[in-house]
Amino acid sequence: MDRLFEFVVNHYILVSLFVAFLVAILILEARRGGAKVSAQAAVNLINKDEAVVVDIRDRKEFGEGRITGSVNIPLNSLKSRASELNKFKDKQIIVADKMGQHSAMAVKQLNAEGFTNVVRLNGGVSDWKASNLPLVKK
């Protein structure tokens, strides 16, 4: 540990450049996937009928439990089925996946298809469950 401190002191320019690049990468990655919305904010938008949830999990996971009123379009077929969402262009689209890891890619694809008001559910359906919010099983 003493050697690390010595390295930082002796090479402060190199270390400060490393920290600056690290911060820049973290900020870029956070912005790349679009805005995030919490589970509680998603509930408020859904209850006001201002948003629709697009669940990008596969059909099996979707069948195990889904957010009420959500539309299931798996991530691998999102590009070809994006036209199904045209009727929701005036509403905010909330993209939900299992844990929030793949929703950024879906937001990017929907933005490329011309949807401007797209956000992702922070933490995905697992965070929704952790917040004790209801899931419909059908």
Distance CA 41, CA 37 (A): 6
> Measured in whole angstroms, how far is the alpha carbon of residue 116 from the centre of its chain?
15
Closest CA to 56 of 133, 111, 128, 121: 121
Q: Domain 36-131 carries which CATH code?
A: 3.40.250.10
- Reading the chain (138 residues) residue by residue, the pLDDT tens digits are 789 899 999 999 999 999 999 999 888 877 767 788 999 999 999 998 889 999 999 999 999 999 998 999 999 999 899 889 999 888 899 999 999 888 988 998 998 888 888 999 999 999 999 999 999 986
**String of DSSP letters for 13-51:** HHHHHHHHHHHHHHHHHHHHT--EE-HHHHHHHHHTT-E
Domain boundaries, the chain: 1-32, 36-131
